Amino acid sequence: MAKNKKSKSKKPSHKAQTPSRAPEQRAAPQPKAERALGDGGYWLIEPRDTLVIRNARPASSTGVMETLPFPWPSSIAGLARTRAGLDPQTGVFDTTLIDALKGVEVKGPWLARLDEDGDVETLFCPAPLDCLWHKIEGDDEQVERRRLRPQPSALWVGERLPLALGLEPVAPDVTPPQTKPAAAPSFWAASDLENWLTAPMALERLSVGFGLKPLAVEERVHVAIDEATGRPKDGALFSTQGLRFQDEEGHRFGVVFGCADPRIKPGALHLGGERRISFLSSLGDAVAPKPPEVSWGRRLRLILTTPAIFEAGWRPSDAQLAGAKLVGAVVGRPEVISGWDFERPGPKMCRRMAPAGSVYWVDLPEEVDVVAWVKARWMSCLSDDPQDRADGFGLCLVGVG
């Protein structure tokens, strides 16, 4: 997977991220002349402050409005279409374009670590779920990663469920220790994910700093002011959570997405709640992940890099599998999405999603061209509804089985 610019020789940070207020004092990033719009139309969002992206839950009993661990594709799609619909003369959104803008396709988002110049140094994807992590007794520097894959002969308590669905039970190739699994990283570097797609190992020892932990969450307290008295309103104390796109060592992060609409222009914008400012700049097509050149077999993996919305709930439809047969799956806990419809207006219904990182194993019949199938599925969206696919839900990569 290509990078936007040659990486500098900087040791990446793998320590737990803690809130930092440094981004509020630094100068605003300036769009670079060499960031021209390419065929792929990839863009970088760099939050100036914390990013407030609410989840679908109401405020807790303590008045805390929780944030998502990472923006939904729909939030980024809304941003891209809003930028594309702005009148170039007045800067006002043209409501007559709403129906046409819904068809603008968006890919992503992904997390990116930036270098000192504000260019993409490393692209990160959500961690795939087809592996187990365990600590090594007496070794605080390494952890063990065990590969998961469908095992027709695997015996376990819940075996009847996958068999009833016509699936093979998923189990590790190497028997894990009788200990609780270690915490898995939330994000993998694109290069590490590419290795996992093409040559997954049954058992591997890795540094405890492999990948990235979740973005730091910063909580702020607010109060509503009575305009008549200038004093706080009774019972109007609440807190909001926001994502901090900087770690304790000062490494900056941004959000990368793809949209080839030529009407999108770089500049300052509002993203998320509380009108927090972010900056948008173009990356061209240099960051687009490319299909690996390997010898594909007839058993393949589909790994979600964004959450997917399926009519069946947890699995893609046969139409989206395009002739392939689903034989196994590792699907995380469902995530719930809702929101506010500004066109209607009114609240959107709550829907369940298969989370990013979910993995599906498929078998291709002899009459299917494997290479053509991989090219068609690579960086495509598996969600059933065309609008959900245009929004970027269910974006997948393909790996060997």
What φ, ψ does residue 138 adopt, rounded to 5°?
80, 5
Q: Identify whether residues 311 and 262 lie together within a single domain.
A: no
Quick one: average pLDDT of 29-58? Answer: 67
The CATH number given to whatever domain includes residue 86 is: 3.30.70
Residue 196 lies in a domain: no
Q: Identify whether residues 99 and 238 lie together within a single domain.
A: yes
Residue 70 lies in a domain: yes
What φ, ψ does residue 197 adopt, rounded to 5°?
-70, -35
The CATH number given to whatever domain includes residue 389 is: 2.60.40.4350
Q: How long, in residues, is the chain?
A: 401
Identify the pLDDT of residue 156: 52
Angle at 388 between CA 385 and CA 390, to 5 degrees: 110
Q: Identify whether residues 306 and 255 lie together within a single domain.
A: no
Residue 10 lies in a domain: no
The four Cα atoms 265, 266, 267, 271 give a dihedral, to 10 degrees, of 90
Question: Among residues 304, 323, 328, which one has the least CA distance to residue 388?
Answer: 304
Choose the final residue of a domain: 284, 313, 331: 284
Identify the pLDDT of residue 341: 82
Instruction: Report CA Rg, the chain.
Output: 22
CA atoms within 13 A on the CB side of 51: 28
Q: Identify whether residues 238 and 373 lie together within a single domain.
A: no
Q: Which amino acid, one-letter code, is at 397?
A: L
Region at 319 (left for phi over 0; alpha for psi -120 to 50; beta for the rest): alpha
Region at 366 (left for phi over 0; alpha for psi -120 to 50; beta for the rest): alpha
Question: Among residues 238, 204, 243, 212, which one has the least CA distance to residue 224?
Answer: 238
First-to-final CA distance of the chain: 20
Residue 185 lies in a domain: no
Percent of the chain with pLDDT over 70: 85
Q: For residue 257, give its domain range.
A: 22-125+214-284
Q: How far is CA 244 from CA 48, 74, 247, 359, 377, in A?
A: 10, 20, 8, 28, 33
Beta strands in 245-298 (DSSP E): 253-258, 267-270, 277-284
Q: How far is CA 90 from CA 62, 83, 93, 226, in A?
A: 43, 13, 9, 34
Segment among 19-23, 136-140, 215-219, 389-393 with least mean pLDDT = 19-23
**344 pLDDT higher than 90:** no
DSSP 347: E
Contact 297, 400 (CB under 8 A): yes
Distance CA 272, CA 50 (A): 10
Q: How many CB atoms lie within 10 A of CB 146?
A: 21
Residue 323 lies in a domain: yes
Quick one: average pLDDT of 10-32? Answer: 40
Identify the pLDDT of residue 83: 94
Identify the pLDDT of residue 161: 56
Q: How far is CA 256 from CA 110, 113, 282, in A?
A: 5, 10, 10
Contact 44, 121 (CB under 8 A): no
Q: Identify whether residues 267 and 353 lie together within a single domain.
A: no
Q: Identify whether residues 29 and 113 lie together within a single domain.
A: yes
Identify the pLDDT of residue 366: 94
pLDDT 10s digits, 355-372: 999 999 999 999 999 999
DSSP 366: T
Strand partners, 238: 222
Q: Which two tokens stand for residue 121?
A: 């140094």
Residue 289 lies in a domain: no
Segment among 49-58, 87-96, 156-165 with least mean pLDDT = 156-165
Distance CA 110, CA 258 (A): 10
Q: Identify whether residues 221 and 361 lie together within a single domain.
A: no
Residue 145 lies in a domain: no
Q: Identify whether residues 274 and 304 lie together within a single domain.
A: no
The total domain count for the chain is 2
Contact 52, 220 (CB under 8 A): no
Q: Identify whether residues 110 and 231 lie together within a single domain.
A: yes
Identify the pLDDT of residue 162: 57
Q: Identify whether residues 350 and 268 lie together within a single domain.
A: no
Q: Identify whether residues 235 and 326 lie together within a single domain.
A: no
Choose the final residue of a domain: 284, 308, 325: 284
Percent of the chain with pLDDT over 90: 61
**4 pLDDT higher than 50:** no
Contact 350, 322 (CB under 8 A): no
**14 pLDDT higher than 50:** no
Identify the pLDDT of residue 17: 39
Return mean pLDDT, the chain: 85
Q: Identify whether residues 304 and 394 lie together within a single domain.
A: yes
Identify the pLDDT of residue 292: 85
Question: Among residues 172, 130, 128, which one has the least CA distance to residue 151?
Answer: 172
Segment among 7-21, 84-98, 306-320 with least mean pLDDT = 7-21
Quick one: average pLDDT of 82-93? Answer: 92
Choose the final residue of a domain: 238, 261, 284: 284
Q: For residue 152, what pLDDT band results from cuts at 50, 70 and 90?
A: confident
Q: How many CB atoms lie within 10 A of CB 177?
A: 12
Residue 199 lies in a domain: no
pLDDT 10s digits, 247-274: 888 899 999 999 999 999 999 999 988 8
